[in-house]
Amino acid sequence: MKFKRSTAGLLAVGILAATGTVAADGPGKGNGPKRSVEDTSIIDSSSFSVSFDKTFPAGQPLERIVDVEFTDTDGNQINAGDLEVEVTSGNRSEVTVTHEDLDGQTGTLTVGDTELAFDHDTFDLNIFHTNDNHGRTDAYPQLVSAYNEAQDTYGEGLLLDAGDIFSGTLYFNEFRGQDAVEFMNYMGYDAFVPGNHEFDLGDPDEGHPELVEFFEAADFPIVAANIDFSGDSGFDHLNQGGISNDPQAGNIYDGIILEQDGEQIGIFGLDTENTVNISSPMNVTFSNYLAAAEQAVADFEAQGIDKIVALTHLGYDSSPAIGSDLLLAANVEGIDAIIGGHSHTTLEEPVIIDTNADGAPKDPTIIGQANEYGKFLGVMNLTFDSQGRVVDYAGELLAAEDYEADPTAAEMLEPYTEAVEELQNQPAGSYVVNELPNPRLGADSNVSVRANETALGNLIADAQLDAALTASDEVLMAVQNGGGIRAPIAAGDVTVGELITVQPFGNRLSLMEITGEELYEAFEHSFSNYPEENGGFLQISEGTEVTFDSTEEPGDRVESIIVDGEEIAQDSEMYTIAMNNFTAAGGDGYDVFSNIFEDDRVSIVGFTDWEMLRDYMADLGEVDYSVEGRITDIADE
């Protein structure tokens, strides 16, 4: 296998300061006092050191002082080329000798009467990887072709996925991951780490039956070193834990050991601890990713495994508060490669981290991530020395769109696509007068559904209030987290497919009993990041007006909450409000909602988000919504 050189520093030798360097001009002994070799050590595949009982004469080739010979394991002499000597300043009896690279060679170095075994054999490992598919099942046929060609080009290797197969499209809403796992089995994945979206369907009563079914259908093991599934009995028959050298399909482990070309490779998984805020894990819990990684590395090393891969859903460069691949590489020794996801980062070539958190040199860790949605197959090529250190690396992203669809995979996709298209095109019974955008902050927008009132947010909140009032006429208002609104609605006739794309998570309506004081606390959190985006920014229903002052410090911004002309007091009076079950359980960092949920003041009504939107819009028939001033920042006035 032919790799490009990754960095000059990777194989650099710490050569001592020189007072003279001369190439050897042939074997033999020079005149002068005889010198005995006191110590010899191998530095790396291109250098060794020698110490003598007397000083080394300036300008003398080493082989005029002492015989030097390299032989292989069969006793055949190896030509190591010219030997170049550098003498240590201040101690001329110590020298460093460089020679031609002996990478891949194993044998014996003889210096005078001293014999020293060397092992510079190398091992090449290919890793192919994907991440953050998010329900794009229709990407697999071309991705299969990219993978097949990659194997033809580079040879066989490990195929890994870094999480978030769930959520985001009609494919997922219809088939709950069972379509995706069929393609993953067809491709032959070797390991999978759950991402945060794998827990989107968490139910307080049923747990995660769809995720259990996904695992049960998988022909590959699940790695999850910092995820504890023991609180959800649905996973009991799959949850093995620990490090396994005989991992079984669909079973959950901290890490696994796989054999590749006669070498053992350790793979462990990590998911972002922020899953508790941005998904619905229910009784599944998450521990500190750095502590879990350190334990996994120690467990592998205890079994003699010196080639270790972290399969992560942390994000390449996510906030230090929630962790990232960069921080993992800098803070945990012993990880040779990180295959990542979550941040949807496009690493066109792998990235090397060879300094630790203190800036000191460390053994290299190579990081790869392949963007999103099955657009790319990531390729990482690693070369290890005999000590399990990465000494060379290369890699690339193969664009799936450049390949024809694999015929078998295309045939597999057909029934799934037919079902999705039938659902996609089903009329929803409403007509949108003006487009309902779903803005995000960026080059062409200074407003965001995650930071500002939007017409679409108003519509969705109103739909939830309308549904909630059929369950209880005591409901005061409805709120919708901005992060749960995923797409705009175009002007014209509306289809069911469009509405599922807008609200793809299948969240269910929940009613919450909340005090006035707690309601103010919730809106303080809603505005805490303003004017920056916050997935927990609350869109609000008709009749509610919330005024805040962004010039004040977070936690002291809400000026008033008025419903139907009456101001809500910050006291202990109890109210009923509606929201989706994700937000009600404390998603997006709502500690106040989480505490209420734990206090058993939440009931799940059961209406699904997109269905509520469909029914409300159908009742309206003609939908004409705009920004109305439901949310006001007095600093703007």
Query: What does R_g of the chain's alpha carbons equal in angstroms?
Result: 31
pTM above 0.85, yes or no: no
Does 429 have pLDDT greater than 70?
A: yes
Structure tokens at 208: 């995660």
Report d(CA 324, CA 314) in Å as an integer.
Answer: 5
* Mean local confidence (pLDDT), 531-553: 97
Helices 516-526, 591-598: inter-axial angle, 10-degree rounding = 140
Which residue do the tokens 């657009």 mark?
Answer: 375
pLDDT at 608: 84
* Mean local confidence (pLDDT), 314-336: 94
pLDDT per position as a tens digit, 56-91: 988 888 988 899 999 998 999 999 999 999 999 888
What DSSP character marks residue 166? Answer: S
Report d(CA 42, CA 636) in Å as an integer.
Answer: 70
Which residue has better confidence, 179 or 10?
179
Closest C-alpha among 500, 346, 348, 363 to residue 423: 500
pLDDT per position as a tens digit, 358-390: 999 999 999 999 999 999 999 999 999 888 999
Could you give the percent of the chain with pLDDT greater than 90? 79
Report d(CA 255, CA 191) in Å as an integer.
Answer: 10
Helices 178-187, 140-154: inter-axial angle, 10-degree rounding = 20
- pLDDT classification of 28: cutoffs 50, 70, 90: very low
The domains found in the chain, sorted by start residue, are 8-119 (2.60.40), 142-416 (3.60.21.10), 427-636 (3.90.780.10)
pLDDT at 32: 52
Strand (E) or helix (H) holding 377: strand 376-384
pLDDT per position as a tens digit, 440-490: 998 788 999 999 999 999 999 999 999 999 989 999 999 999 999 999 999
Which residue do the tokens 């879990």 mark?
Answer: 292
Angle, alpha carbons 292-297-300 (nearest 5°): 125
pLDDT per position as a tens digit, 264-282: 999 999 999 989 877 889 9
